[in-house]
Protein backbone atom coordinates (compact mmCIF):
# COMPACT_ATOMS: atom_id res chain seq x y z
CA UNK A 1 0.00 0.00 0.00
CA UNK A 2 1.25 3.50 -0.87
CA UNK A 3 2.10 6.14 1.68
CA UNK A 4 -0.95 8.40 2.45
CA UNK A 5 1.27 11.53 2.48
CA UNK A 6 2.47 10.69 -1.04
CA UNK A 7 -1.14 10.38 -2.27
CA UNK A 8 -2.11 13.69 -0.65
CA UNK A 9 0.84 15.50 -2.29
CA UNK A 10 -0.16 14.10 -5.69
CA UNK A 11 -3.73 15.32 -5.23
CA UNK A 12 -2.54 18.81 -4.26
CA UNK A 13 -0.16 19.00 -7.23
CA UNK A 14 -2.88 17.85 -9.66
CA UNK A 15 -5.37 20.37 -8.22
CA UNK A 16 -2.87 23.24 -8.57
CA UNK A 17 -2.03 22.25 -12.13
CA UNK A 18 -5.73 22.17 -13.10
CA UNK A 19 -6.29 25.55 -11.45
CA UNK A 20 -3.31 27.06 -13.28
CA UNK A 21 -4.39 25.69 -16.65
CA UNK A 22 -7.96 26.85 -16.20
CA UNK A 23 -6.96 30.36 -15.11
CA UNK A 24 -4.49 30.77 -17.97
CA UNK A 25 -7.02 29.59 -20.53
CA UNK A 26 -9.80 31.86 -19.30
CA UNK A 27 -7.70 35.03 -19.33
CA UNK A 28 -6.24 34.32 -22.79
CA UNK A 29 -9.57 33.48 -24.38
CA UNK A 30 -11.26 36.54 -22.86
CA UNK A 31 -8.77 38.92 -24.47
CA UNK A 32 -8.87 37.18 -27.84
CA UNK A 33 -12.67 37.02 -28.25
CA UNK A 34 -13.87 40.46 -27.15
CA UNK A 35 -16.53 41.59 -29.66
CA UNK A 36 -19.06 44.34 -30.10
CA UNK A 37 -22.35 43.78 -31.90
CA UNK A 38 -24.26 46.19 -34.07
CA UNK A 39 -27.86 45.28 -34.87
CA UNK A 40 -29.30 46.46 -38.18
CA UNK A 41 -33.07 46.94 -38.39
CA UNK A 42 -35.25 44.90 -40.72
CA UNK A 43 -36.13 46.62 -43.97
CA UNK A 44 -39.32 46.29 -45.99
CA UNK A 45 -42.85 45.28 -45.17
CA UNK A 46 -43.71 42.05 -43.43
CA UNK A 47 -46.03 39.55 -45.07
CA UNK A 48 -48.66 40.31 -42.42
CA UNK A 49 -48.61 44.03 -43.23
CA UNK A 50 -48.76 43.43 -46.98
CA UNK A 51 -51.68 41.03 -46.54
CA UNK A 52 -53.58 43.47 -44.32
CA UNK A 53 -53.15 46.38 -46.73
CA UNK A 54 -54.01 44.40 -49.86
CA UNK A 55 -56.96 42.73 -48.14
CA UNK A 56 -58.23 46.07 -46.85
CA UNK A 57 -58.04 47.72 -50.27
CA UNK A 58 -59.65 44.76 -51.99
CA UNK A 59 -62.39 44.54 -49.36
CA UNK A 60 -63.11 48.27 -49.63
CA UNK A 61 -63.41 48.09 -53.42
CA UNK A 62 -65.71 45.08 -53.39
CA UNK A 63 -67.72 46.37 -50.40
CA UNK A 64 -68.11 49.78 -52.02
CA UNK A 65 -69.35 48.25 -55.25
CA UNK A 66 -71.85 46.03 -53.48
CA UNK A 67 -73.07 48.08 -50.52
CA UNK A 68 -72.04 51.73 -50.91
CA UNK A 69 -70.12 53.70 -48.27
CA UNK A 70 -71.03 51.53 -45.29
CA UNK A 71 -70.30 48.39 -47.28
CA UNK A 72 -66.85 49.76 -48.16
CA UNK A 73 -65.99 50.27 -44.49
CA UNK A 74 -67.18 46.79 -43.55
CA UNK A 75 -65.40 45.25 -46.53
CA UNK A 76 -62.15 47.09 -45.71
CA UNK A 77 -62.22 45.85 -42.10
CA UNK A 78 -63.02 42.28 -43.10
CA UNK A 79 -60.44 42.31 -45.91
CA UNK A 80 -57.71 43.73 -43.65
CA UNK A 81 -58.38 41.07 -41.01
CA UNK A 82 -58.39 38.28 -43.55
CA UNK A 83 -55.26 39.60 -45.27
CA UNK A 84 -53.45 39.82 -41.94
CA UNK A 85 -54.33 36.22 -41.09
CA UNK A 86 -53.21 35.06 -44.54
CA UNK A 87 -49.91 36.95 -44.22
CA UNK A 88 -49.30 35.44 -40.78
CA UNK A 89 -49.96 31.97 -42.20
CA UNK A 90 -47.42 32.56 -45.01
CA UNK A 91 -44.81 33.85 -42.56
CA UNK A 92 -45.19 30.76 -40.39
CA UNK A 93 -45.06 28.45 -43.40
CA UNK A 94 -42.24 30.03 -45.44
CA UNK A 95 -40.41 32.23 -42.93
CA UNK A 96 -39.83 35.94 -42.78
CA UNK A 97 -38.19 37.32 -45.93
CA UNK A 98 -36.78 40.29 -44.01
CA UNK A 99 -33.49 39.45 -42.33
CA UNK A 100 -32.06 41.01 -39.21
CA UNK A 101 -28.32 41.37 -39.75
CA UNK A 102 -26.03 41.38 -36.74
CA UNK A 103 -22.57 42.63 -37.59
CA UNK A 104 -19.73 41.66 -35.28
CA UNK A 105 -16.53 43.57 -34.93
CA UNK A 106 -13.55 41.96 -33.23
CA UNK A 107 -11.84 44.21 -30.75
CA UNK A 108 -8.33 43.28 -29.60
CA UNK A 109 -7.49 44.57 -26.15
Tens digits of per-residue pLDDT, 3-35? 776 677 888 888 888 777 777 655 444 445 555
- pLDDT tens digits for range 29-59: 444 555 566 666 677 788 889 899 999 999 9
pTM check: above 0.85: no
Q: What is the pLDDT of residue 28?
A: 47
Q: What is the pLDDT of residue 93?
A: 85
The domains of the chain are located at 45-104
HSE, CB side, 13 Å, CA atoms: give it for residue 83. 20
CB-based contact 52:84 (threshold 8 Å): yes
Q: What is the DSSP letter of 99?
A: -
Amino acid sequence: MKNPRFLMKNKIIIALMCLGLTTGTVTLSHDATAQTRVKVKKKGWSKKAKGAVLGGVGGAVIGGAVGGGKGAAIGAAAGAGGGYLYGRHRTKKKGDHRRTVIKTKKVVR
